[in-house]
């Protein structure tokens, strides 16, 4: 066992995963960022969805200083975070057939929009059905998942498929089954998950790519600025005014 401290081991593990994603997902990140830029340029809208802790990465790209103002959270009641009581209800709802279709039917998502779906395992009914239904509406889907789960776990969707099977672009987070990077002889279970760190970094790389892609076309990226810098509120008000018909978190 390594003589380094657990904190150092975790940082090393997270850095290693980030390096793998940077080196192995370059083309997919470029494709995902380009798709977002294509959607913005064509007048489409952007949405992000994640259940449980996967929702953290989705929330990180919505109404975010330095981020695209057009990224909206596609929320499913009861599954967005651990604020629902009991917290285990959120996990149970991820396995409910028909929930995703019902949510999409009442959402603003439409053809030619792009939906980012984040699901570490990609095996539950909710993200699989969400991807299938969104594509059925004519939207494009970017999936962020650990592809390894598809070869080592059983799908919980009636089709036997996984999120990765219903996406236009798949971003593989490389997270190992179980999402725990460290083990110790004195602790009976693996611990220290890194999926939030890696998935958030993946998505911010996609957002950066999208912004640069828009700029390369002569389109000013609809970026938000921090409200804690001078002029930030005025800047954001201008963006909200220009793109108000594609921003749903202000309504």
Is pLDDT at 1 greater than 60 in this prediction? no
pLDDT at 2: 61
Of 24-28, 102-106, 189-193, 195-199, the one with minimum mean pLDDT is 102-106
The pLDDT tens digits for 42-61 are: 999 999 999 989 999 999 99
| Position 216 pLDDT exceeds 90 | yes
* pLDDT at position 9 over 90: yes
Higher local confidence (pLDDT), 65 or 4:
65
Q: For residue 62, what are the contacts with CB-CB under 8 A and spacing of at least 6?
A: 48, 71, 72, 73, 249
* 3-class state of residue 238 by DSSP: helix
Q: For 219-233, what is the mean pLDDT? A: 97
pLDDT higher than threshold 80 for residue 38: yes
User: 3-class SS at 144?
Assistant: strand
Residue 97 vs residue 62, higher pLDDT = 62
Q: Which residues contact 8 (CB under 8 A, 6 or more apart)?
A: none
pLDDT value for 29: 98
* pLDDT for the residue numbered 74: 94
Q: What is the mean pLDDT of residues 184-195?
A: 96
CA–CA gap between residue 237 and residue 241 (Å, rounded): 6
According to DSSP, residue 176 is labeled P
Q: What is the mean pLDDT of the chain?
A: 94
Phi, psi at 225, each rounded to 5°: -115, 160
Token pair belonging to 193? 């998950």
Q: Stretch 221-232: mean pLDDT, rounded?
A: 96
């Amino acid at each position: 066992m390594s003589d380094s401290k657990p904190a150092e081991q975790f940082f090393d593990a997270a850095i290693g995963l980030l390096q793998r994603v940077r080196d192995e997902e370059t083309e997919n990140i470029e494709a995902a960022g380009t798709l977002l830029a294509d959607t913005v340029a064509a007048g489409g809208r952007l949405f992000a969805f994640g259940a449980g802790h996967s929702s953290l990465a989705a929330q990180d790209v919505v109404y975010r200083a330095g981020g695209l103002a057009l990224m909206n959270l596609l929320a499913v009641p009861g599954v967005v975070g651990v604020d629902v009581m009991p917290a285990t209800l959120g996990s149970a709802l991820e396995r409910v057939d028909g929930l995703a279709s019902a949510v999409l039917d009442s959402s603003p998502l439409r053809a030619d929009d792009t939906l980012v779906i984040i699901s570490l395992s990609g095996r539950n009914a909710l993200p699989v059905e969400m991807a299938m239904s969104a594509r059925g509406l004519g939207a494009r889907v970017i999936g962020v998942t650990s592809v390894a789960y598809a070869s080592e776990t059983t799908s919980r969707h009636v089709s036997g498929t996984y999120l990765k099977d219903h996406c236009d672009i798949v971003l593989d987070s490389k997270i190992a089954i179980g999402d725990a990077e460290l083990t110790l002889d004195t602790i009976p279970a693996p611990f220290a998950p890194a999926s939030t760190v890696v998935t958030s970094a993946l998505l911010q790389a996609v957002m950066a790519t999208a912004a640069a892609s828009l700029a390369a076309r002569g389109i000013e990226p609809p970026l938000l600025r921090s409200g804690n810098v001078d002029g930030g509120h005025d800047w954001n008000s201008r963006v909200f005014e220009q793109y108000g018909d594609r921003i749903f978190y202000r309504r």
